[in-house]
Structure 1
Amino acid sequence: MKVLTVTLNPAIDKTIYVDNFELYGTNRVQSSLETIGGKGINVSRNLRNMGMNSEILGVFAGVTGKRMTDALVDEHYLVHEISGMGETRINLKIVDQKGHTTELNELGPALQDDGDILNWFKDHDFSDTLIVLSGSIPKGVSQDIYGQIINLVKKGGAKVLLDASSKGLEHGLVSVPHIIKPNIDEVQYLLNIEQKPSEAELIEFGKAQIENGVKLVVISLGSKGALFMSDAGIYRADGLDLISKSTVGAGDAMVASLVFSYINQEDIETLIQRAIATSGAAVETRGTNPGELKRINALMKVVRIQEMSKYENNSSKNVW
C-alpha cells in the first residue's frame, strides 16, 4: 500500500534554544537547528525512520519553497509540487532549558482557489493508498478543502488519516476519514464549549465519531498520554516520564506511528504502545527530528495501558 502525506502549508522550522526565555528582554541563543518541515513532511520523516516509504505532496512558493523541494529531492523523497503565490513560510520555535516551547508561525503562501489542489487529486489514482492530511490551510483555499479531498479520494478507494484543527477538522469530519487524531483543544473547539472537555466528554466525542464511520479516534492529551477509541474498545495510555528537548513534532510522530500500525494491521495494544513511544522518543530529540528506533522499541515496553471498555460487537483486539 502506498502512503502519501499532504502538507498544504509546509515550512522551514527553525528551533532556537535559550537558557531562560525572557519576554520583552534580550535572550542569548545557546544553539539553533533548522529543518525542512510542515506536519505532513514531519510524518514522512518519521515514517522513513521506521523503514517505511512515503510520497510527499505540498504547496511550495518562492525561494524558500524551491529550497525545500530541492532539499527533499536530495534526500530521495518523491515530491509532488503545487505552486503557490508568495513565499513558503519559516516558523520559529523557541525552547528553554525546561523544554517549554514558544512558537511563532508565519501564514505562508496563497493560492487563488481550490482548483490546483482538487485537480491534482482528480488526476491521480489512489486505489491502494493511505493519504495523510495534516496541518493548516493556505490563504485563498476553502476551509472545507480537506472534506473535498476526502470525498474525492474515497471514491477511488483511498483511506484517509486526518490531523487538522478548527474548520479544517470540522469540515473534514463530515466526509468521514478513516483515522483522526485531534488534541484536547481541537475537541473543545468542535464541541463549542468554554472549558477543557472532561474525559467523559472526550470519550463521548470519540464514540460519536466511531458510530459515524471513523475506524480509529486518537485524542492526544499532551504529556498525560492519549485516548484510543475504535471497534476494539476504549483505551487510555499514560504519558511517559521523559526529559523534553522539544515538543514540536511529537504529534506528527504519533501520526506516523498510526500509519505504520495501519499498514501492518497491528492490534490495538501494539498500536497504542507504538504511538505513545514514538511521540515520546520525538520529545527527547532536538527540533522536529524523529526519535531513534532503538529508543522507540525500548519505550514501547513501558507504556501503561488501561482498557476502559469494549464494544459489544467486537470482543477481539482488531482495530481495522
Structure 2
Amino acid sequence: MNMNNLRPPISIGLFLLVLVLFGCERLSNGVVREIDFPEHTPEIVVTLMARNQMDSLVSRAHSSAGILDSIGSKRIKSALYTLTHEDGTSLTWGGQEDWTSELGHVLTDVELAAGMWSLLVEAEGFESVTAEQRMPPVIDTLGGYALAYDTTLVDFSVEEYDSGKFFLTRTLDLDVNLPNRSGESDFFVLRILDEEALAGDEFEEEEEMNGGYAILTTQMEDDPRLEYNRLLQGYIFEDAGNLNAASDLPFRIFQERWGEGLKDVMQSSIILEVAAISPEMALYYQRLDLISNPSGGPLFTEPILAYSNVSSGYGCFGLYTSIALPFVFE
C-alpha cells in the first residue's frame, strides 16, 4: 500500500478543524458586544382621518415610546385638538373633560369646507405637533367631480335549506368611471359597506339570525391600476393625471345571504362606498399595509417605516369625501 495516499485526507481534516475553532472564537467574541440605544424623548403620536361631513369625529393621541421603554405608548387624555381652515375659521375640542371612555376625544356634527386645513395638537409635557392637508373635491354622481357606474347581473340562485329559511347567492359585474382632473393626482378607495356589520363573518350556528356578506373583487387579475389594501378592506386607485386610467374599471361583486323570509333575503342590498382621499392618506395606508404584510413585497428589502405627515414624525392627518351607492334588489 502506498502510504502517501493517506496524507491529503489528514491534512484536509486538520485544516478544517483549525478553521472551525478559529470561526467559533470569532463568533463568541461577536455575540457579547453590547449595542447602545439612544435615549428616546416621548412625542405626540396622532392619527386623524376626517370626512368633510361626519356625525362624529373621534380623535386619539398617544405618546411615542422607545425600544427600551418598558411601559410603552400611553394615551394622552389631556390632548387638545384644533383644526383651522385657510379662511381663519377653526374648531377646537379635546382635553381631560372631553375624553370619552373607550373611544377618545369626540367632536360631533362635523362639517369641513373645501380648501386647506391645519391641525394642531397640544398636550402638557409634550411639544405641540402640526400637520396640513387639503380637502379633496366632493365626490358624487352629479356635478363637476362625478363618478358613473353600471351593474350587470351575472349569476343568481336561491334555495330553501330549511322550512322558511333561504340561502341566496348573487354575482354582479360592476363597471366604474371615476372623476378625473387633468394634471392632478387623485386617489380613491372603493369598498363594500355592510349595514349589519356581518361582512366576513362565518356562517352562524344560530340560523334564525339573518346574515350574509358581499365581496368586491376585480374582473381582471392583477389590474395594475388597482391595489388591494387589507386595512381599508378595499381597493386604492391613483389616476396620476392619466385621463384614460380612471375609465371602465371592471369589478365583480359576490354576495351571499341567508335567513328567514324569502322576500327579506331576496331584497338584501349591497352598498358600495367610493371615497376620494388625500394623497398623504393613501400613502399612509399603503405603507401600513406593507408593514402588516411584509411577505407581499420583495424577498430582501430595507425596513419599511410608516409614512407620517405630522411634524413629530408619528401619525398621519388625512381628509376625504365619500359617497355610498346602494344596489337595491326587488
TM more than 0.5: no
User: Which protein has the bigger helix share?
Assistant: 1
TM-score by length of 2: 0.26
Q: Could you state the TM-score of these two structures normalised by the residue count of structure 1?
A: 0.26
- Structure having the larger proportion of residues in strand: 2
